[in-house]
Amino acid sequence: MVKDLEDTVWIGLEYFANEGDELWEMPDRRFIEFAIDELASINVIDKADVLDATRIKVKKAYPAYFDSYKDIKVVQDHLCGVENLYCVGRNGQHRYNNMDHSMLTAIDAVKSILHPEEFKREDIWKVNTETEYHESKKAEE
């Protein structure tokens, strides 16, 4: 049994579902058990170690830009004005990131929390802002 919260980790899972489908309609407790079972089946966790869980359903969560993305800086500036808010991943940054970029934004958020004098919260928005695709650059080398 974990005696100290310093010995715990937080794991977030993202499932794609549409309103009305089986995953969306699954009762929260059953869905949480499903997710825990999946993690245990691939040896990421031991089910006995799970201390708590929650489920958050977000309708139409995938970013859609509809000719307003040119104003994303206004959104970024507003969100950066909210103290202790760290926008990470696709939904947090309202842009397409692959999983690596999404995870990097979370890593950068932790850096900003632990070492704000070295890594500014606004720097999280710099992940995946190159105009050239990383995969394309790699193929050219």
Q: In whole angstroms, what is the distance from residue 119 CA to residue 108 CA?
A: 8
Q: Residue 122 corresponds to which tokens in the numbers above?
A: 């606004």
Residue type, 19: E
Question: Of all residues in the chain, what percent carry a pLDDT higher than 70?
Answer: 82
Chain centroid to Cα 45, Å, comes to 19
The residue-averaged pLDDT of 96-103 equals: 81
Determine if the pTM surpasses 0.75: no
What is the structure's pLDDT at 30? 98
Sequence spans of domains, the chain: 5-49, 69-140
- Residues 56-86 pLDDT 10s: 998 876 655 566 667 778 878 888 888 888 8
On average, the pLDDT of the chain sits at: 82
